[in-house]
Amino acid sequence: MKIKDIKTYFAAAVWRNFVIVEIEGENGLKGYGEGTLGDFEKSIEAAINDLKPFLIGREIEINEITNFFVRHFFWRNGPVLSTAESAIEQALWDLMGKTVNMPVYKMIGGKAVDKVKVYGNGFISGNESPEEFGKAAVKTIERGFYALKFDPFSGSGPTINNKELTLASERIKSIRDSVGDDIDLMIEAHGRFNTRTAIKIASEIEKYNPYWFEEPVPEEDILSMAEVKGNSRVPIATGERILSKNRFWELMVARGADIIQPDVCHMGGIFALSQIGSMANTNYITVAPHNPNGPVATAASLNALITMPNALILEFWLDAETVRHDLITEYFRLKDGYIYPSNKPGLGIEINEEALTKYPYRKMHLEYFSSDYKYHGDIDEIN
């Protein structure tokens, strides 16, 4: 079967646009992938359109196509190009799964686990008080989540003064006191600190028993990440901005992380995520995919993660719920803090095609390192 057409859609969602790729096969079926980056959405669309002439009329052999991306262009990787290629790869798997009437996870080896734990994110951000952090956490737990991730650091970085560290610590304490000791807490740093500061913070937050400390230093500095890990009793998670299997291997060899966080939208797609999971398993590292994206990426991530014996947990965002629920005809099965795979073919979701044009593109940018950034709320919230 050959590729007949490729289209790109945007869905504005609070602080970014979900980027959704549709690939139509000559059999009339359509597959969907996601290339949400949080910025530069029009550049991703342009990259997809640049690749389109090489793909229209091409036989759908996914390994051959992804190898073509790697071997036949002088420039490769980079967040925009890798995201475009990852979205295309996901859509091809979805289309092939629908064509052979089989879930993608069965096509790449079948389930290693029956369900995956999820953690809630997007429920609080910015410069809210410790009390507000605690209240927001309780509301999220009441929705059935048993793990939470949040960034308590406001505008701090690359260093942190005593006042800022005290406030961050109080926010974590407020959540821990509000939800109890049985709830897992992931502390997000967005790669903002230098090495000494990150080690200092890890020591301070250890008393709250965090599940992990995420991106304590810039992700491109693997040696510094390894130094932080070697000096932290809190597990270190990273990898959301790593774009290639090669770079993940370098991270693992350097012993730079306890948990890796590949993003299906940026590092090659579903099969690449599965391969990285296998590499991690060999190195006794667990996998917790980064996923602040839309429902298509959630489905793609789940299809890869469910095949991994070292699957740890999946990020599940709680913002823009109107858009998320509208984009797919039947939402994900969540129960007791876990997400369950679908038995439907392809990615296991059905796209509401009318919704693809219902939330038109808006130029948005989230400044993570300001003191008052906001990424929680629904589509009627002011950014």
Structure tokens at 65: 């196509």
- Contact call for residues 35 and 25 (beta carbons, < 8 A): no
For 133, 149, 176, 210, 301, the CA distances from 33, given in Å and listed in that order, are 34, 25, 37, 33, 11
How far apart CA 135 and CA 102 sit, in angstroms, is 43
For 29, 39, 178, 201, 316, the CA distances from 117, given in Å and listed in that order, are 32, 28, 21, 27, 10
Does residue 266 carry a catalytic annotation? no
DSSP designation for 353: G
- The three state secondary structure string of 121-163 is ECCCCCCCCHHHHHHHHHHHHCCCCCEEEECCCCCCCCCCCHH
Strands across the sheet containing 3-13: 3-13, 16-25, 30-34
Structure tokens at 185: 């807490």
Structure tokens at 92: 């091809």
How far apart CA 381 and CA 255 sit, in angstroms, is 41
How far apart CA 262 and CA 295 sit, in angstroms, is 17
- Contact call for residues 24 and 353 (beta carbons, < 8 A): no
- Among candidate residues 266, 290, 365, 376, the one labeled active-site is 290
Q: What angle do CA 15, 184, 292 make, to 5 degrees?
A: 20
Residue 324 has φ and ψ, to the nearest 5°, of: -55, -45
- Among candidate residues 72, 190, 325, 365, the one labeled active-site is 190
Contacts of 289 (CB under 8 A, 6+ apart): 261, 262, 263, 264, 273, 301, 304, 305, 314, 315
Does residue 290 carry a catalytic annotation? yes
Question: What are the residue numbers of the active site?
Answer: 190, 290
